[in-house]
Structure 1
């Protein structure tokens, strides 16, 4: 067991080896003027997870990451990464991409990575060539190793940035908005790369405000809103917070709405040519039979399960960007 010291100087028992990758308890950051960026954050990131840290811009995601990595001192509260007593002790096992690293435009991708590697005091200079080659191959840039950085596409630049985090063995990757500003192709490249890295056993903590991307690559979710964690769990657990709806296509929408009400469904919304309602525990085939018994023409019936966006609107009352 190890201990970590919180901002007030109190000892906190950290996770044993094999425990959570990240743990925070009451983590808080208050800036001058009283602005609270992060407000008593209690977060647990399981090892081996692809954890999506979601929230609108300004919700406290980047400030949280900076506190986890020791770049910003918390006002109060505690945090632990990989069970280490301090961020410094864990950093050799952590790869981090925060707001994008700076690369030399006239150097090749391989030459840039060599300079990143030289800044790591724990790196063995005798094996730099092999490690750079392996990192480039892992992100699909082996063929562009000698190409100048200025000629890289946005997707290639993001992949190179992730390669810089993979120059040594990493138990945890922390990626802050890794698809920010990318076109759909670049976004797909980075998303697939994150999946591949996670498949090798590395825990990935990815901050984003793009719901569609997180839904496709993450196993666990934490949602920030105005500095507070408002939801946390697996995708399945969060989706269960919202019930599915049934949508009926019918020319008799007003009659269908009355029939659905009589059947016991709630939150009924009639519209021209259709009516929808919360399905609850009702079986869709029984709903169909009830409508037919009432002589209502049913042109189509669909059970609509809540999207991640629906869940977050339900939980927080806020909207998020849903497209890359």
Structure 2
């Protein structure tokens, strides 16, 4: 199924100037001129503090909230004009799963499938089992939902989005509240679905999980998109840091200043520094050449958490 203008090389999702204000003129601007681009085949990590506009953006993309201004192109169609055509190709999990606790996993999916006007009841049993199998729940299909672990419940919710063929999955906080085992289960599932050719937009608070699975990143702050691109591009602008273990901290600081490295701080067993365009091996050579007793030198690569704090100025509650 496709709509006019659905180009295989075009982004699966692209917004232009997407804006949402609540309370009329002079009210709160929740999303401010966001230009989001989700390439086909990507796992796009959508990040931001609480209150930064992520969920509102997702709701506008899915046609659940009407934008104040801007344009949304989804799978070649426009939202909200073409939602009836494009949304059947999108699976969405927003604000957690909702299932009947006393029904089995299979029975819960059967209820959801039965209310889908586009679902063929003649193929329901096969499609339900295929969806359960894709999330590794076929062996637990007869178990009541109330007996499922949190990880199993999230995987069942993702199975519900896979009852029909999907080109895009939108997962809002798919690992929220999960223990490490459940988080790993969902992370593995996201990677496997992507390998099968599904594009995913994943909003999550767990930066370490996003860093492991996502190919592209977008970071929101106070309603604005402050960074976007391939993961390596977004992370690449964060400078490397290093720790020098030495009893000659003051002398080391002087040598580093001579190299033009100004972000140097003293630590109990030496100094820490930011490598501002100077190669680590050049720093070591300069220290040793100046007679500094270097007992250890460790380079710390930038993490997504480092970059997130740099872009947003704090933790996930920074803008609430």
TM-score category (smaller protein): over 0.9
CA offsets 1:212-262 (integer angstroms, 9 cap, x no match): 111011000000111110100111101111111222111111111111111
Aligned to 2:37: 44
Aligned structure 1 segments of 4 or more residues deviating by more than 4 angstroms: none
Is 1:240 paired with 2:236?
yes
With 294-303 and 43-52 compared, the bigger mean Cα shift is at: 294-303
Structure 1's unaligned 5+ residue stretches are 4-13
Q: CA deviation at 1:101?
A: 3.1
| Cα distance in 2 between the residues matched to 1:254 and 1:221 | 40
Aligned partner of residue 113 in structure 1, secondary structure: helix
Task: Name which of structure 1's ranges 294-303 and 215-224 shifts more when overlaid on structure 2.
Answer: 294-303
Q: Secondary structure at the match of 1:65?
A: helix
- Deviation string 1:28-51 (CA, Å, 9 cap, x unpaired) is 111126111111111110000000
Paired residue for 1:157, among 143, 153, 157? 153
Aligned twin of 1:305: 301
8 Å contact 2:94–2:171 — kept in the other structure? yes
1:285-296 aligned at under 5 Å gives the runs: 285-296=281-292
The match for 2:223 is: 227
| TM-align CA RMSD | 1.6
1:216 aligned onto 2:207: no
Match of 1:78 in 2: 71
Checking the alignment, whether the CA contact within 8 Å between 2:49 and 2:312 is kept in structure 1 is no
TM-score by length of 2: 0.93
The 3-state SS of whatever aligns with 1:101 is coil
- Cα distance in 2 between the residues matched to 1:18 and 1:128: 32
Unaligned runs of 5+ in 2: none
Could you tell me how far 1:15 is from its partner in structure 2?
5.7
Q: Which residue of 2 aligns with 1:126?
A: 122
Contact 2:48/2:312, CA 8 A, preserved across alignment: no
Corresponding residue number in structure 2 for 1:273? 269
Aligned length: 311
Q: Report the secondary structure of 1:159's partner residue.
A: helix
Report if the CA contact (8 A) 2:97-2:154 is conserved.
no
